[in-house]
Chain A
Amino acid sequence: MSEFILGIETSCDETAAAVLEKGCIIRSNVVASQVTLHAPYGGIVPELASRRHLENVLPVVIQALRQAEVQLPDLGAISVTAGPGLVGSLLVGTSMAKSLAYALGIPLVAVNHLEGHIRAIFLEHPELTYPYVALVVSGGHTHLYYVPEEYIYRLLGRTRDDAAGEAFDKVAKLLGLGYPGGPAIERAGAGGNPKAIAFPRSYSGNGSLDFSFSGLKTAVLYYLEGLGYKIQRSGETKFLPPELVADIAASFQQAIVEVLTRNVIKAAKAKKARLVILAGGVACNQLLRQHLRKGAEEEGLEVLFPSPSLCTDNAAMVAAAGYRRLLRGERAGLDLNASANLPLC
């Protein structure tokens, strides 16, 4: 196999392509974001995302090759996200990857998006050892895994309703902060008091490590209504004083970060894992990084998270995960299909 692998990722609202050398050196990592396209809707519109992926996919692949200074015949393999995600979006990527691999006569490998997020850490820390506990938090996922060895993922907990990133988006919308909600809440909450409002910390009982964030969103809504504010039909609240927005954002963020941190550390202790990996778009959140690091240090655990550009959706992580699976002899056929709920196991 030649030393270059092309990764393609289109599972949600980022069209991404990347070229890795020897499975670990990032030669290019191109992401075409659709944030401004979906912003007027306060969230991702699947049909619009699919349309934009189809327009972006070829220019993004070409740019990734160009930046990597790699020609098509130099590619040794192609790795593509096959799920989970928006199926219409995924299909643009899988169709492109399959036809490219077929016409170039090179192997194709299918990657689970969540494994991609977790494997992103290996691009910056190739010497990691097992076992570890990994939390993938993003707009679409809140999954807590125990990883005893390579290729084995045991799901310990997941959200029972909204993903953590989704909760950020919904609360940001309520506060009129716009989309995407993660960075908006973080900015707005920077000057606020995280202890101003005691929003509920929802923990599942019976030793479960599942998450639930819809109640937290509802608590913010009730809090605003309790103060006499009226939620507009657009889902926004008007005429909120900036200090109140700052306190709500800071308090909400504190609640969500405490719940995430508590379950991760509980999982690591239960599994006797010394290492915790934080991945996914929400892993960019500075409070979550600090809080988790502090909590882990108290328990003598090591915490690692990828650089922000490798936390949000990207194709370098897909190429990295695919490279390992290729070495193991895995191949995807021409009949590869996308799967919205592809399990990681």
Chain B
Amino acid sequence: MLILAIETSTLQGSVALMRDTGLISEYTLNIEATHSERLLPSIHRLLSDAGLKIGDPDGIAVALGPGSFTGLRIGLSTAKGLALASGKPVVGVPTLEAMAWNLPFCPYWICPILDARKKEVYCAIYRFHQDKLETIMGARSLSPQALLSLIREPTVFLGDGLVPYGCLLKEGLGDNALFAPLSKQGPSAANVAELGLWKLGRGEVVDPASLVPIYIRPSEAELKLGLRDKGG
């Protein structure tokens, strides 16, 4: 079983190839450039370095978000096209859950946070029980202050939300705020591939046509219209 994984939730774009026997290759690039320009060239390079062709993977795993709306749509639209052309099944993997797998067996709470702009972060809280990941709080969008108030025990934070809010978390939580090492901070397509392989094995495939990101937030316009209709 060979899977191709796509992760475009943040500027840290990542693609990976994994067999059920191990990781073949992962390519990660964290630069200020659009995924539109680098995603397919990355996939092509990954495959050709591994001596493989686009028809070889048995399935495609794609990170569903939350994260950058545009980045996610580029990843998902690319996955849809590859699935249509190859006829291979697609599985979707939640971004924050895949990020938690940067820290397997960690005894503390794990809290991936991504900068959601508008002074909020996309976040979730998980904890490992040996090799099983338990969700303590599902993905949502919160102000850093609101997130702080939910943390009651030592928690490892990771993700690009630490760049703007790391100091604030440290000040508010003191010794309870732990930060993952830089190399374990970002979303990884290898994790998406591994979670994708399990899903593929369990038959949890999705219809590529109906595949949509986990946006968390409605669009600004929908929010404004809702306010207007309520007379606000």
Stretch in contact with the other chain, from B16-24, B136-144, B208-216 = B208-216
* A55 and B212 contacting across the interface, CB-CB below 8 Å: yes
15 example contacts (A-B, Cβ-Cβ < 8 A) are as follows A45-B221, A47-B221, A57-B77, A58-B208, A88-B70, A88-B73, A93-B77, A95-B36, A95-B78, A99-B78, A99-B85, A102-B82, A103-B55, A337-B36, A338-B36
User: Does A102 lie within 8 Å of B73, measured CB to CB?
Assistant: no
Select from chain B the residue with minimum beta-carbon distance to A234: B228
- Contact code string A243-287 (vs B, CB < 8 Å = 1, else 0): 000000000000000000000000000000000000000000000
The one of B81, B213, B222 that contacts A96, using a Cβ cutoff of 8 Å: B81
* B77 smallest CB distance to A (angstroms): 4
A335 at the interface (CB under 8 A from B): yes
Contact indicator A54/B73 (Cβ below 8 Å) = yes
Report which B residues bind A (CB closer than 8 A). Answer: 34, 36-41, 43-44, 54-55, 69-70, 73-74, 76-82, 84-86, 208-210, 212-213, 215, 219-222, 225, 228
The interface residues of chain A lying within 8 Å CB-to-CB of B222 are 48
Give the complex CA separation of A334 and B39 in angstroms: 8
Provide the bound-state CA to CA distance between A309 and B44, in Å.
Answer: 38
A-side residues, CB < 8 A to B, are 40-41, 45, 47-48, 50-51, 54-55, 57-59, 61-62, 72, 87-88, 91-100, 102-104, 234, 333-338
With A50-B69, A58-B80, A88-B69 known, 15 other A-B pairs at CB within 8 A are: A40-B225, A41-B221, A45-B219, A50-B70, A58-B208, A59-B209, A91-B77, A95-B77, A96-B78, A99-B78, A99-B85, A102-B82, A103-B81, A103-B86, A334-B41
* Least Cβ–Cβ distance between A67 and chain B, in angstroms: 16
Nearest-Cβ distance from residue A153 to partner chain B, whole angstroms: 25
Q: Do A57 and B80 have beta carbons less than 8 Å apart? A: yes
Contact, CB under 8 Å: B210 / A55: yes
CB distance from B108 to the nearest CB of A (A): 36
Nearest A residue (CB) for B55: A103
> Can you name the residue of chain A whose Cβ is closest to the Cβ of B36?
A337
Distance in Å: Cβ of A59 to nearest Cβ of chain B: 5
Task: Check A96/B69 contact, CB under 8 A, given A51-B215, A58-B84, A62-B209.
Answer: no
**A59: chain B residues within 8 A (beta carbon):** 209
10 A-B pairs closest in CB distance? A99-B81, A103-B85, A95-B77, A47-B219, A334-B40, A45-B221, A58-B209, A100-B81, A99-B78, A96-B81
Q: With A and B bound together, what is the CA distance between A333 and B222 in angstroms? A: 36
What residues of B have a CB within 8 angstroms of the CB of A100 in the complex?
81, 84-85
Chain B neighbourhood of A95, CB < 8 A: 36, 39, 73-74, 77-78, 81
When C-beta atoms are compared, the residue in chain A nearest to B79 turns out to be A99
> Are the C-beta atoms of B76 and A54 separated by less than 8 Å?
yes
CB distance from A335 to the nearest CB of B (A): 5
A72 contacts B84, CB within 8 Å?
A: yes
* B73 near A98: Cβ-Cβ < 8 Å: no
A-B contact number at CB 8 A: 105
**Is there an interface contact between A337 and B34, defined as CB atoms closer than 8 Å?**
yes
The answer on a CB contact under 8 Å between A102 and B69 is no
Tell me the smallest distance from the CB of B92 to a CB of chain A, in Å: 13
> Are B78's CB and A98's CB within 8 A?
yes
Q: Cβ of A96: which chain B residues have Cβ within 8 Å of it? A: 77-78, 80-81
Which chain B positions have C-beta within 8 A of A99? 40, 77-82, 85
Separation of A103 and B36 alpha carbons in the complex (Å):
16
List of A residues within 8 angstroms of B225 by Cβ: 40-41
Chain A residues with CB under 8 Å of B82's CB are 99, 102-103
Q: How far is the CA of A335 from the CA of B29 in the complex (A)?
A: 15
Residues of A within 8 A of B79 (CB): 99
Q: In the complex, what distance in Å separates the CA atom of A55 from the CA atom of B82?
A: 16
Query: Among the listed B40, B70, B80, B208, which residue makes an inter-chain contact with A91, where contact means beta carbons less than 8 Å apart?
Result: B70
| A333-B41 Cα distance, complex, nearest whole Å | 9
Using known A-B contacts A41-B225, A100-B84, A100-B85, determine if residue A54 contacts B212 with beta carbons closer than 8 Å. Answer: yes
With known contacts A41-B225, A47-B219, A95-B78, A335–B73 Cβ distance under 8 A: no
Find chain B residues with CB under 8 A from A93 CB: 77
Which residue of chain A has the shortest Cβ distance to B86 in the bound complex? A103
- The interface centre, meaning the residue of B76, B81, B212 with most chain A CB atoms within 10 A of its CB, is B81
The answer to whether A51 and B81 have CB atoms under 8 Å apart is no
Are A337 and B81 interface neighbours, CB within 8 A?
A: no
Contacts of A337 in B (CB 8 A): 34, 36-37
Instruction: List B contacts of A102 (CB < 8 A).
Output: 40, 43-44, 54, 81-82, 85
A337 to B39, CA, bound (A): 11
Chain A residues in 8 Å Cβ range of B78: 95-96, 98-99
Residue of B nearest to A104 (CB): B85
Q: How long is the Cα–Cα vector from A190 to B28 in the complex, in angstroms?
A: 60
Separation of A41 and B224 alpha carbons in the complex (Å): 10
**Cα A209 to Cα B209 with chains together (Å):** 45
Measured in the bound complex, the distance between the Cα atoms of B82 and A59 in whole Å is 14
User: Contact between A103 and B54 (Cβ–Cβ < 8 Å)?
Assistant: yes
Contacts of A55 in B (CB 8 A): 210, 212
Q: State the CA gap A67–B215 with chains docked (Å).
A: 33
Q: A41-B225, A58-B209, A103-B82 are in contact. Are A98 and B40 (CB under 8 A)?
A: yes
